[in-house]
Amino acid sequence: MIYRHFIYYILFVAYILSGCCNKANDSVRGAINIDLTKSCDCSDSDLFEDVRLIKLNTGDDFIGCVDKVVWCDDQFVVLDKQQNKVFVFDENGKIQTIINRVGRGPNEYLSIGDIDCKEGVIFIFDDSSYRLCRYDMAGEFLGTNKVCEGYHIAVMDDGVAVYAGEDAEEFELITFNEQCEQSGSYLEVDDVLNSLPITFVNETSLSKCEDEILLTRYFDYTVYSLKDNSVEPKYKFSFGSDNFDPAILSFSTPQEFQKNVIQSQGVLSIDYLLETPRWLTFQAGDENVYYNKASGNYVLRGQLPTLSKVLLSYPAMAYNSQTGYFCTKLTSSNVANAIIPLLTNNPSGFEGLDNIVNQSTDESDNDWLVLFKMRW
């Protein structure tokens, strides 16, 4: 009798878990359907195993905008495109290094398009001179090499991948070996996209997941994987009624095309894609999506409880495979005007989050980093 009741209990829990979250239709391998009007119904404690906030302390300097975060061992490498600077912080948010080498000299760069990090080396892609500059974590210059015109980079085990864009001459993705000699070219340029009067480029076109590079691009819901010198489609998303109308790519004048894009209500690209062993996180239109690969369930930032909604105001920017934590940013205004009032009245139970109530902060402070571990 006890055994039978236990079985009933297990079946009941399984039923509740399957019903409490919206589940993507994954009837075709690699095909993921996301309804941007429905989300998993969960509390803050259901969603997070742990959350902590880190205030970025730059001393007498300041950060204009956190455009990208790269987790390098126990340090955070932050790109600020607004100021053409790279900041390195320790695990507590204390400034360690500021790389500010704007110029035309051999150890300088003109414009930072992207950054990445590998084994204590910071790679800065100069999208004006198309050079790859290397610095150590202390900001010492290590060398520079010419690569190709492009927008984003991802450092691989044996070189670097450069996203050349949909307006490239022949191929959108170019790889270089450790000597920065071209080693491969992938994804032939789409004639339709190449003919558009305006070039669209994702905020982050490339991301790394273990031994592969993932690529996303505008007007395409496919996620491409570069692995073993081959590029193959890995995932295909659909957003149902929120898919963009392909007719916007048909136009007679540039002005008509601009009007089509502005008036489009659909998702034009998948951005800020991160893949972990359990999760796919990305931005679709204005919505941040957290998709659990094992269960097929997903949550949408816009439909979360207030605290989680504020904490996840920005897409996930980095993932630490050793600790299982994601990293995103939060503005000082978010912290001062939303997070602290919420926690003052109703503590979250997460020590690394609740203790900021006693910290002084105002809207003029630098951005903060949010570290969070998902419970599922």
- pTM score, whole prediction: 0.90
Those residues with Cβ within 8 angstroms of residue 245's Cβ, 6 or more apart along the chain or in another chain: 264, 266
Residue 84, both tokens: 């053409």
Q: What is the DSSP letter of 335?
A: I
pLDDT at 40: 87
pLDDT at 366: 85
| C-alpha gyration radius of the chain | 22
Kindly write down the DSSP assignment for every residue of 98-125, as one continuous string: EE--BSSSTT-BS-EEEEEEETTEEEEE
CB atoms within 10 A of CB 246: 10
Cα–Cα–Cα angle for 76, 81, 85, rounded to 5 degrees: 60
* CATH architecture of the domain with residue range 44-374: 6 Propeller (2.120)
- Residue in the structure block whose two tokens are 């390098």: 72
What spatial distance separates the first Cα and last Cα of the chain, rounded to whole Å?
A: 32
pLDDT at 22: 62
> What does the alpha-carbon distance between residue 63 and residue 83 come to, in Å, rounded to a whole number?
8
Are the C-beta atoms of residues 278 and 374 closer than 8 Å to each other? Answer: yes
Are the C-beta atoms of residues 32 and 282 closer than 8 Å to each other? Answer: no
Are the C-beta atoms of residues 149 and 125 closer than 8 Å to each other? Answer: no
> What does the alpha-carbon distance between residue 143 and residue 109 come to, in Å, rounded to a whole number?
12
Cα separations in angstroms, 42 against 12, 45, 132, 374: 18, 8, 44, 12
| Phi, psi at 348, each rounded to 5° | -80, -25
Those residues with Cβ within 8 angstroms of residue 24's Cβ, 6 or more apart along the chain or in another chain: 32, 33, 34, 291, 296, 297, 298
Report which secondary-structure segment, H or E, holds 5.
helix 2-20
pLDDT digits 0-9 by tens, 195-215: 888 888 888 899 999 899 999
Give the alpha-carbon dihedral of 59, 64, 65, 67, to 10 degrees: -90
| Phi, psi at 156, each rounded to 5° | -105, 175
Structural domain spans, the chain: 44-374
Listed as ranges, residues in the chain with pLDDT below 50 are: 1-20, 26-28
pLDDT at 12: 34
CA 369 from centroid of its chain's CA atoms: 14
